[in-house]
Structure 1
Amino acid sequence: MISIITPFFQSEKYIEASINSVLKQSFDDWELLLINDGSYDQTKDIALSFKDPRIRYFEQNNKGVSTARNLGLSKMKGQFFCFLDSDDMLTPNSLKSRLDIFNNNPNIHFVDGKVIKMNESLNTINQEWSPNFNGNPISDLVSLSGNSFLGLTWMVKRITGKNYQFETQLTHSEDLYFYLQLAREGGEYSYTEDSVLYYRDTPNSAMSKLKGLENGYRFIEKKIKNWDEIDNELINTYQYRYKRAMFLAYLRDLQPINAIKSIF
């Protein structure tokens, strides 16, 4: 029923807990696709130590997380799919609570849920994020409101024959662009009130690499300017919000020159 795609690279510290969070799901009709993106630590051995037939293992040379996710997307068999980063964990009812929303409304294509952001040891809650949007999410995504997007937390109803792919040239914001492309093709977004993910805030979090994040925002800006679904006012909102976010992020990181450059 549900395909869960987990790419990993050098994740020996966290991968066992991540896989166990899938095994502990209250809904059990799932497959977990583990995609090894060229790890050379013990992550592969840990991944292969799980003998559950619902767990499928693939590997590639180190090509980046988007290419790894694309491999998982090409191999998935589920009617629905979602993603789980190798350092995060699903809550016990993560799959069931999102699937229930689909079952109650056949017009829904994307289902989200509450995310609990925790410290690296998962013993302190740093922040909780709750979605707050219903309908086609393309305008909400472009506006960077934070009402329908935190990261790869959606469960997606799979369209038979569709080729799902991430933009591999992006190192950051590839998740936002992936969702924008899905939303552009139509479909309604909704959410469960339940928590669906424990997000582990690690020192090496991708969001900490600011230049890559800025490049991702600028790539998306160039793409959506040509979309008929996006008007100039919404483009202006997107530009203002991402430039403001980058300006403040650079300042916090003591990069004043990059902060100034980011607003032009």
Structure 2
Amino acid sequence: MTLPVDARVALPDSGDGTQRPAPLVSIVIPCYVATPKQAELLDETLHTVAAQTCRDYEIVVVDDGSPLDVGAITARHAGTVTLRQANGGSAVARNTGIRASRGRYFVFLDADDHLLPQALEAGLRAFAEHPECGFVIGRREEMTYEGTPVPWGVASLPRETWLYNILLGFDWYIIPPSSAMFRREAVEAVGGFRDPWGADDLDFYLRVARAYPAWCYEEPAVTRYRRYSASSSRDGERMLRSIRIVYGRQWPLVQGDPEAEAAFHRGLALLTKIFVDCLAENFSDGVRARNWRRVLRTGFLFAGEKGRAALGLRSWRVPRPSTSGEARHDAVQPPPRQESGRVRTLPIYASDDEIKELVVEWSELLAEKRFAEALSAFPHSTQEYDWTPELLERVIDGYGVVDSDPDVLQEMREDHGVERFEVTTLRGRPDRDELVERSIDVDPRRVDGDDELGWVHYSDVPLNGFLSDLTARFIIRRVGADRLTLEFYDIHVM
């Protein structure tokens, strides 16, 4: 059956009018089916689920706004619940499936991968033997896009049970999602998936692995992963932006722990290199396709990334440590040239929505070209640049780059039909509230911590009436004992 996401999901009945008991395992499959080949792969995936040796499961397929009829595919597979929603990405689709499911355990299966016959049985056995674990992980196999075996092997699974630093350092990775089985309690405790559009798997794994131990087992293999270059993880621009959001969320959690900080920098550097290389591939793809808009865009981004690397700049800068190891509730004061009475503050327990509105106020000051007021109303970090009104305006006009190549910048302006890049207002936009909710991400705060309480990422900063690729970052700072402010950190392409 196919239901809209706002419909009440009926529990399957047993044929005599009574509801079946909740299954042990919920298999959640997000999908976006746009081609006959993708429809064929989804059907193939569902056939592998039907071959499970453990029969105590339910299948929840979430159609993420597919152009083709997903219900026609799932109707051929008995007992499959199909939910349809507007396109929102895999993280949103998985959360839809989580809410509609009833199982005590979860397997998140991609719509083009295979679940091997003993997968559910092996995962449940591992949980029975290791009840302290929040998730268990089995070995994967790999196949080509056509479904044939690959000539290479896969890395062995870790022997450790606490996997947070291993995942953070990208020393090893859970791939694909269906190699793991999760307890419902663990999934619900971390709030399910968040949506950085690309690295939502990594974001989820890090949050679960920080809170729960895991158990890894080599036999039997539980899933077969399909390898092909058209995977969304090959979109260098999207993935660079996404991993930086994910790692930006992790820094407040690892700061002060040398081992975790080392893993943070190691993992971010490795992933940055991987996806900068993907930018080069995307550039070549654009040339072959004569997609000059994409060529211009990826070339601009690639040059910026290589320039940062040549200058030895980190892709994500960490704030300088406090001069004291003790919590300093009065440590953050505006720079001397700022009038402290004009600094915008909120109560320490302000809601995320209140913090988002503070970011909107900053954005509106830029839209009105009140750059000096923006820098006086919000303390600003000197870790990236010694910000001045003139520099802030220049970085915005340079599309996030201080010294943009004039020819590239002019092509960018012509591509967008503008004379210069300027922040534009959110006022009067019918989608204003939706944009604020989607574009401004407030990290979980540590209100009992030291003066740095968390981070805010403001993506898709509006320029000249369109949503750009610029992201502004702010540190949530304590001011005095019971208030907070936003410290402007930087703005650049993410």
- What is the TM-score normalised by the length of structure 1? 0.89
- Counterpart of 2:56 in structure 1 is 29
1:112 and 2:137 matched: yes
- Counterpart of 1:257 in structure 2 is 303
- Structure showing greater radius of gyration is 2
1:221 and 2:265 matched: no
Instruction: State how far apart, in whole Å, the 1-side matches of 2:88 and 2:152 are.
Output: 32
- Counterpart of 2:467 in structure 1 is none
- Counterpart of 1:232 in structure 2 is 261
Structure 2 unmatched ranges of 5 or more: 1-23, 285-298, 310-314, 316-494
Q: Which has the higher strand share?
A: 1
Q: Contact conserved, 1:119 with 1:126, CA < 8 A, in 2?
A: no
Q: Encode CA deviations 1:202-225: one digit per residue, 9 max, x unaligned.
A: 342111111111112111221111
1:6 and 2:29 matched: yes
Cα 1:38/1:63, change in 2 over 3 Å: same
Does the residue aligned with 1:14 lie in a helix, a strand or coil?
helix
Q: Encode CA deviations 1:101-128: one digit per residue, 9 max, x unaligned.
A: 1111212221112222211121232544
Structure 1 stretch displaced more, 175-184 or 132-141:
132-141
Does the residue aligned with 1:172 lie in a helix, a strand or coil?
coil
Aligned with residue 192 of structure 2, among 152, 160, 165: 165
Does the residue aligned with 2:127 lie in a helix, a strand or coil?
helix
Instruction: State how far apart, in whole Å, the 1-side matches of 2:145 and 2:265 are.
Output: 36
Q: Encode CA deviations 1:166-198: one digit per residue, 9 max, x unaligned.
A: 112x22111000011112223333234221111
One-letter code aligned to 2:94: R
Instruction: State how far apart, in whole Å, the 2-side matches of 1:65 and 1:91 are.
Output: 22
Q: Contact conserved, 2:52 with 2:119, CA < 8 A, in 1?
A: yes
Q: Give the superposition deviation at 1:49.
A: 2.5
Does the residue aligned with 2:27 lie in a helix, a strand or coil?
strand
Q: Contact conserved, 2:31 with 2:111, CA < 8 A, in 1?
A: yes
Instruction: State how far apart, in whole Å, the 2-side matches of 1:252 and 1:42 are.
Output: 32
Task: Give % identity.
Answer: 21
Please give the residue correspondences for 1:79-228 in structure 2 after superposition, counting only pairs within 5 Å: 79-129=104-154, 130-146=156-172, 148-152=173-177, 153-159=179-185, 162=189, 164-168=191-195, 170-228=196-254
Q: Contact conserved, 1:81 with 1:156, CA < 8 A, in 2?
A: yes
One-letter code aligned to 1:116: E
- Counterpart of 1:19 in structure 2 is 46
Q: Give the superposition deviation at 1:236.
A: 2.1
Q: Contact conserved, 2:106 with 2:183, CA < 8 A, in 1?
A: yes
One-letter code aligned to 1:4: I
Q: Contact conserved, 1:110 with 1:154, CA < 8 A, in 2?
A: yes
Q: Contact conserved, 1:251 with 1:259, CA < 8 A, in 2?
A: no
Structure 1 stretch displaced more, 16-25 or 41-50:
41-50
The structure with higher relative contact order (CA 8 Å, sep 6+) is 1
- Counterpart of 1:62 in structure 2 is 87
Instruction: State how far apart, in whole Å, the 2-side matches of 1:216 and 1:126 are.
Output: 31
Q: Give the superposition deviation at 1:159.
A: 1.0
Q: Contact conserved, 2:126 with 2:215, CA < 8 A, in 1?
A: no
Q: Contact conserved, 1:73 with 1:164, CA < 8 A, in 2?
A: no
Does the residue aligned with 1:155 lie in a helix, a strand or coil?
strand
Size of the aligned set, in residue pairs, is 260
1:76 and 2:101 matched: yes
- What is the TM-score normalised by the length of structure 2? 0.49
Q: Give the superposition deviation at 1:251.
A: 4.4
Q: Encode CA deviations 1:50-102: one digit per residue, 9 max, x unaligned.
A: 2x23x222111222221111100111211110111111111111111122111
Instruction: State how far apart, in whole Å, the 1-side matches of 2:174 and 2:114 are.
Output: 18
Cα 1:59/1:128, change in 2 over 3 Å: farther
Structure 1 unmatched ranges of 5 or more: none
One-letter code aligned to 2:140: V
Q: Contact conserved, 1:246 with 1:262, CA < 8 A, in 2?
A: no
Instruction: State how far apart, in whole Å, the 2-side matches of 1:135 and 1:106 are.
Output: 13
One-letter code aligned to 1:2: V
Q: Contact conserved, 1:97 with 1:192, CA < 8 A, in 2?
A: no
